[in-house]
């Protein structure tokens, strides 16, 4: 499935790093930077998360929240947050249902092996819940 710019972004509810349920609709009235990443604690994902962390106040100034999503479990997300002092939510999509809805659960190749995983992607959702931009 793919999402379309200008349309309402697929809604979801997932557990955050503390196991609390978080829904996209909780952020209606704010801009949302929703980013999907493959795995906590890996070099590329750590760099990406730290870049978001380092720009966090700029996003706050724009009335935007940052939400990261990966298939990692809740406790792994909390370790990632603690290790890198991340000031935003990380959501656990262990069954990759939300990744499927956003079209980021893809067949990948690495060293000749094929497997399914997250295609690193970021979606900008406006205050009304509409998808404004996507970066893949």
- How confident is the model at residue 4, as a pLDDT? 86
For 118, the token pair is 């997250």
Q: How many helices (H) and strands (E) does the chain have?
A: 4, 9
Spans in the chain with pLDDT lower than 70: 1-2
Q: Which residues make beta-bridge pairs with 12?
A: none
Question: Alpha-carbon torsion 46, 52, 55, 60, what sign?
Answer: negative
Instruction: Say what the pTM is.
Output: 0.95
Tell me which residues are annotated as active site: 45
Report d(CA 4, CA 21) in Å as an integer.
26
- How confident is the model at residue 1, as a pLDDT? 59
Contacts 24+ apart (CB under 8 A), 10-14: 10/98, 10/101, 10/102, 11/129, 12/97, 12/98, 12/101, 14/69, 14/91, 14/92, 14/93, 14/98
Domains assigned to the chain: 29-135 (3.40.30.10)
- How confident is the model at residue 45, as a pLDDT? 97
For 21, the token pair is 């349920």
Report d(CA 116, CA 106) in Å as an integer.
5
- How confident is the model at residue 62, as a pLDDT? 95
């Amino acid at each position: 499935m793919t999402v379309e710019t200008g349309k309402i972004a697929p809604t979801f509810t997932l557990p955050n790093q503390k196991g609390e349920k978080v829904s996209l609709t909780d952020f209606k009235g704010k801009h949302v930077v929703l980013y999907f990443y493959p795995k906590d604690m890996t070099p590329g994902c750590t760099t990406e998360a730290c870049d978001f962390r380092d720009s966090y106040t700029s996003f706050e100034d724009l009335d935007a929240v940052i939400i990261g999503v990966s298939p990692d479990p809740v406790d792994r997300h909390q370790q990632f947050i603690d290790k890198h002092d991340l000031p935003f939510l990380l959501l656990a999509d262990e069954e990759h249902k939300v990744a499927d809805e956003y079209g980021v659960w893809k067949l990948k190749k690495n060293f000749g092996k094929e497997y399914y995983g997250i295609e690193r992607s970021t979606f900008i959702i406006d205050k009304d819940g509409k998808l404004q931009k996507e970066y893949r």
